[in-house]
Structures are given as C-alpha cells and as structure tokens.
Structure 1
Amino acid sequence: MFMLKIWLLIAYFACNILTVLGADNNCPMPCPHIMEPVCASDGEEFRSFSNRCLLRAYNECERERDREAFGEVDSNNCEDQQWL
C-alpha cells in the first residue's frame, strides 16, 4: 500500500512538472488512476473527467485546437454525463 501511494505521488508530480515546464510535446500525458471526479465545460458542453490530471491531458493532447479549453465548473452540471 505504501508503494502504491509513492507511485501515485510520482505520477501526479510528473504530470504537474510537464505542465509547468510547457514541454512542446508532452503527449501522452501520464496521469494517476485516481477517481477524484471533475466537472468541466468549454462554454458549449459539459464533460466529466476522472481527475484534474485527465482534464489537463484532454486539454493538452485531445482537444480540437479551434475549441476553447475545458475549465472546471460546479459538479452539479455533470451528474448524468459520460466519464472521460
């Protein structure tokens, strides 16, 4: 259990360091498999992400460049949405 916590912390910090450094191509972005639900919107639609790192990864690696980035919003907006 202790090693799992260490691994998750390393994965979390690796994700944040890549974001801060602004690496030209940090895709695919490593994210921990932690369920900490995040509701986000790009101004047109709402989406649910399993955690904040996956939200950042979607914005950096999968989002169409002509669309606004998804930003975190109140979780009540995503109750019946599909998880990403």
Structure 2
Amino acid sequence: MKSKNGLKRKSMLKNQDLAFVELQKQKVNNLSEYTIQFYKVSCRTFSKFVNLEELKVFNVTRDLIDDYILFLRDTGGKRMLL
C-alpha cells in the first residue's frame, strides 16, 4: 500500500519468523540469551493481541497500549508488565 506521498508503508514487523531472526542478531549487540528469549515471548504475546502483519507504526497509540495492558491483565500476563 502506498501513502499520499507515494512511499510504501511498512508493517510493524515483516513477519514473526523474520523478527525472531533479527532478534538473534542482537547477540552482536551483546544482549544475553535470556534477554533475547524475553523479547521472543513478548512478541508472541503481543501477536496474540494484534495482527503484527497488518499493524502500522502510526496505529500504535496510547489507547492501543492501554488495551494491551488490559489484555495482559485479563490473560494473566501481569508479570510481563514493566
């Protein structure tokens, strides 16, 4: 899909598999395996709440974040809140 200025709009994540590959590359940035694993679990949990393939950056609003926090609380994901 193209925006008004003719540039292609990017999805939040290309797809989950690619996101996990990109997370693995974070070892170069000296992130621990536990941190990378936490990011993977966080991505999976967020993908249960919203379709990452269709999410656009400009759609990430305070309301979306608040709804996600409520989703985590309702599904027992409180431990993931920082």
Q: Which has the higher strand share?
A: 1
The two structures share one fold, judged by TM-score above 0.5? no
Which structure's relative contact order is higher, taking Cα pairs within 8 Å and 6+ residues apart? 2
TM-score, structure 1 length as denominator? 0.28
Q: Which has the larger radius of gyration?
A: 2
TM-score (norm 2): 0.28
In terms of fraction of residues, the more helix-rich structure is 2
